[in-house]
Amino acid sequence: MSAPLVTLGLTTFNAAGTVQRAVRSATEQSWRNFEIVAVDDCSHDGTLDILRRLAAASPEIRVFCNAANVGVAGSRNRILGEARGEFVAFFDDDDESLPERIASQIKRILDYEREFAGGAPVICHTARRVVYPDGTVRVEPTMGQTVGRRAPAGLAVARRILLGTPLEDGYGACPTCCQMARLSTYRAVGGFDPALRRGEDTDFNIRLARAGGHFVGIAKPLVIQTMTKTSEKSLAEEYDNWLRLIEKHRDLLEEAGQFSFCRRWIEAKQAFLERRHLVFIRRLASLALAHPGHTGRRVLMALPNLGLNRRFGRFHEGRP
């Protein structure tokens, strides 16, 4: 069987200082049957010019520019529309992928499809090294890292994301920067929601899970994610997007009898991230009185993420 073509999809916006590094990490993949589709979202710092120079020297790179700034979801949807590959792997403009990333993800997906998927859609994420502006480095796992067994799948994954429901092998994040799936999988789910300027990756994963998707992972961190502060990365924006997400998937939350609880949990978590400790304690105590079981389970599930959430809050506040 010939090696399938993989579309390496790169979204860019005002990344003149990092985009060459991101493109280089794509062109240096050990998997050689690839194309690079770069979509620029109306940068005004010379990013598009850099991409065009790189494309002039590398025929495997195709560059597109949005007519208006549409956000990363819209840019990813354009990549899906332009892609010629059987598989799509997404790259961010300030991150790097190790040379074996694509080959490893292709193997993981194909092996899993043969043994466990039964025709269901499969998506693969890798663990990643997250580098913060102060030099702090964290290795973040992903979901479905255990090889040789059925991966987290279906509604159980959607409930894990939205409700924090315990799920074996279901701990870890699934960001788009370390994601790969068949192009047909992305198109079947409808791509990314352009109405979401943040949290579009979480929403996509929920919709894929609700469509029966299987979430396989790779334990080795094959992506180096550099955390860069931009205007849309704020605690207030993250909070608003979580509220939009739970409203969008309200039917699943109401079916579990947890819509009100989830909204109040997000409000309590926001107070924690913003270091409004007294407000957080009051909100958590109120939740515990009204929903003791749900609150206890959520607290236990949140404990492993305590350090990550603190780092997340400091990053969005611009603190070291």
Reported as a single tens digit per residue, the pLDDT across 6-20 is 999 999 999 999 999
Please tell me the distance from the alpha carbon of residue 258 to that of residue 267, in angstroms, as a whole number: 14
Environment class of 211 (CB within 10 Å of its CB; exposed 0-12, middle 13-18, buried 19+): middle
Which long-range CB contacts under 8 A does 17-21 form with residues at least 24 apart?
18/93, 18/94, 18/226, 18/228, 19/47, 19/50, 19/51, 19/93, 19/94, 20/50, 20/54, 21/96
* 159 and 249 housed in the same domain: no
1 in any annotated domain: no
* 221 and 261 housed in the same domain: no
174 in any annotated domain: yes
* 220 and 255 housed in the same domain: no
Question: How many domains are there within the chain?
Answer: 2
Q: What pLDDT shows up at residue 231?
A: 55
* 275 and 215 housed in the same domain: no
Residues of the chain falling short of pLDDT 50: 315-316
Q: What pLDDT shows up at residue 316?
A: 47
* 150 and 292 housed in the same domain: no
Domain span at residue 130 reads 6-226
> What is the reported pTM?
0.91
Which domain-ending residue is among 209, 226, 243? 226
Q: What pLDDT shows up at residue 306?
A: 60
Q: What pLDDT shows up at residue 235?
A: 85
Please report, for the domain that includes residue 213, its CATH number: 3.90.550.10
* 155 and 219 housed in the same domain: yes
Which domain-ending residue is among 226, 251, 278? 226
Q: What pLDDT shows up at residue 234?
A: 78
Environment class of 82 (CB within 10 Å of its CB; exposed 0-12, middle 13-18, buried 19+): middle
* 302 and 162 housed in the same domain: no
* 135 and 184 housed in the same domain: yes
* 266 and 200 housed in the same domain: no
* 76 and 193 housed in the same domain: yes
